């Protein structure tokens, strides 16, 4: 088997837990007009088709800003805004209807492609549009009438769920209808958020121009809680309090949906081929994930956490599950600990001890009894593995007396004392007789 084939098989095998987890779940995908205009949109459409084939229930919400701007310019009309919101007067509404309608038809045609040499061959995709969005006027603001610019009033989630149950992909444009028969121009962000919340979606996937949200140094941030994301927005917000940066808008949108009913929101780049699949099917992802759990934090421990860690591990030490650590030792090693903090209390911990340049030991893994079986142990392990990789470690050992299966189920394999680096071998406690496991990172 060639190296490429091996890698492919390995990747495919590693995707299977995700495939099982996503089957039957509802994902709302926000596609701004810029994403549809981009050359990469065909690849995005293929990847969306693939998700549909795997049994994910998909709702696509598309915008049309650049397409509308172009049509307005062609018609010789000025685009007017009030505080960042587009004003839709009676001259621009027909142009907006036509640009949005035409884009929707183009999207439908792309999803209907099934040429023999295209990745969508044989996929037989059915895509449905409709009057799912009920809108109301944005109204008069500071004396300015925004006319046909509207806001989402309600989402007909039952009708959408029926379409999803029939295996159809639902396509929603950023236009809405009022019970009085009027048509309103809506923002794609408003429609995507309202739809994801009304459907109780498992995920809102947002296509932006950047690979997720960048930190102060321009580096992508892989994961944020809704509270952390809000803090970042507050930090970056201008004096006028208006968010005009597109990526910040996406972050705000994520916070909004996560604080409502949506479990996770993910921001990825429409410019990067394969970003959707990488984000969904690999551990490290390709964008920024924003999660609901805002009251818990996973972070490196500080000296103030020593007391909390001791409280957590002492009962386990007494039961002989963990090796005893004195306060002094903990204080010295505190920066090697990762902790889960909930409302100020330490409810989970784990430590990474480098043994030499390539080998390290994972130790002192514990979750408070009341908080077990909710994936916290897994999160600590993932963070420790990530930290280990960052410093060039490629083999992680764990010594355990009572918890071998937990580690084996997470990729560790039986090893032995002889495989341990010399330093650790000399310290091995034969009386305790712990089993040795190792994992290649």
Ligand X SMILES: CC(C)(COP(=O)(O)OP(=O)(O)OC[C@H]1O[C@@H](n2cnc3c(N)ncnc32)[C@H](O)[C@@H]1OP(=O)(O)O)[C@@H](O)C(=O)NCCC(=O)NCCS
| Chain residues in the site for ligand X (CB under 6 A) | 316, 321, 365-367, 372-378, 400, 402-403, 405-406
CB of 399 to ligand X, least distance (A): 7
CB count within 10 Å of CB 32 equals 27
Is 367:377 a contact under the CB 8 Å cutoff? yes
What tokens does 280 get?
Answer: 């969904």
Q: Is 97 exposed, middle or buried (0-12, 13-18, 19+ CB in 10 A)?
A: middle
CB of 422 to ligand X, least distance (A): 22
Q: With respect to ligand X, which residue has the nearer C-beta, 14 or 91?
A: 14
CB of 165 to ligand X, least distance (A): 29
Q: With respect to ligand X, which residue has the nearer C-beta, 14 or 372?
A: 372
CB of 248 to ligand X, least distance (A): 33
Q: With respect to ligand X, which residue has the nearer C-beta, 294 or 403?
A: 403
Phi, psi of 408 (to 5 degrees): -60, -40
Taking CA atoms, 339 is separated from 216, 305, 395, in Å, by 24, 8, 22
Closest-CB residue for ligand X? 377
Phi, psi of 406 (to 5 degrees): -60, -40
Is 288:252 a contact under the CB 8 Å cutoff? no
- The rounded distance, in Å, linking the Cα atoms of 333 and 319 is 22
Is 67:33 a contact under the CB 8 Å cutoff? yes
Q: With respect to ligand X, which residue has the nearer C-beta, 62 or 264?
A: 264
CB of 14 to ligand X, least distance (A): 18
CB of 311 to ligand X, least distance (A): 13
What tokens does 135 get?
Answer: 């809108």
- The rounded distance, in Å, linking the Cα atoms of 49 and 36 is 15
DSSP secondary structure string for all residues of 288-308 = EEEES--SEEEEE--GGGHHH
Q: With respect to ligand X, which residue has the nearer C-beta, 161 or 342?
A: 342
CB of 339 to ligand X, least distance (A): 13
């Amino acid at each position: 088997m060639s190296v490429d084939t091996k890698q492919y098989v390995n990747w495919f095998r590693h995707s299977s837990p995700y495939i099982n987890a996503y089957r039957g779940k509802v994902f709302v995908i926000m596609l701004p007009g810029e994403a549809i205009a981009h050359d990469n949109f065909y690849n995005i459409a293929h990847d969306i088709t693939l998700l549909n084939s795997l049994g994910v229930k998909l709702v696509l919400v598309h915008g049309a800003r650049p397409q509308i701007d172009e049509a307005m310019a062609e018609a010789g009309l000025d685009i007017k805004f009030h505080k960042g919101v587009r004003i839709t007067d009676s001259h621009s509404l027909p142009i907006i209807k036509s640009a949005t309608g035409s884009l929707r038809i183009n999207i439908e045609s792309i999803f209907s492609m099934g040429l023999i040499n295209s990745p969508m061959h044989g996929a037989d995709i059915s895509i449905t549009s409709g009057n799912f969005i009920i809108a109301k006027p944005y109204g008069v603001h500071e004396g300015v009438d925004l006319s046909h610019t509207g806001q989402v009033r309600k989402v007909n989630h039952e009708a959408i769920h029926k379409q999803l149950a029939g295996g159809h992909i639902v396509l929603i444009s950023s236009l809405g209808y009022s019970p009085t028969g009027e048509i309103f121009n809506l923002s794609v962000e408003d429609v995507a958020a309202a739809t994801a919340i009304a459907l109780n979606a498992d995920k809102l996937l947002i296509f932006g121009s950047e690979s997720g949200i960048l930190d102060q140094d321009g580096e992508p941030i892989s994961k944020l809680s809704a509270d952390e994301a809000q803090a970042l927005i507050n930090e970056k917000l201008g004096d006028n309090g208006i968010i005009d940066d597109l990526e910040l808008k996406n972050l705000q949108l994520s916070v909004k949906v996560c604080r409502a009913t949506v479990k996770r929101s993910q921001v990825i780049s429409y410019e990067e081929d394969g970003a959707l699949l990488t984000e969904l099917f690999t551990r490290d992802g390709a964008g920024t994930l924003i999660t609901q759990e805002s009251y818990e934090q996973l972070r490196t421990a500080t000296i103030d956490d020593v007391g909390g860690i001791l409280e957590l591990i002492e009962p386990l030490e007494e039961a002989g599950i963990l090796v005893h650590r004195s306060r002094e030792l903990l204080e010295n090693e505190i920066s090697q600990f990762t902790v889960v903090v909930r409302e100020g209390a330490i409810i989970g911990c784990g430590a990474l001890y480098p043994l030499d340049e390539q080998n390290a030991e994972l130790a002192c893994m514990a979750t408070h009894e009341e908080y077990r079986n909710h994936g916290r142990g897994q999160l600590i392990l993932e963070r420790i593995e990530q930290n280990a990789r960052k410093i060039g470690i490629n083999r992680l050992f764990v010594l355990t007396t009572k918890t071998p299966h937990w580690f084996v189920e997470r990729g560790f394999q039986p090893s032995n004392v002889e495989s341990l680096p010399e330093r650790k071998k000399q310290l091995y406690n034969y009386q305790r007789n712990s089993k040795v496991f190792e994992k290649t990172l």
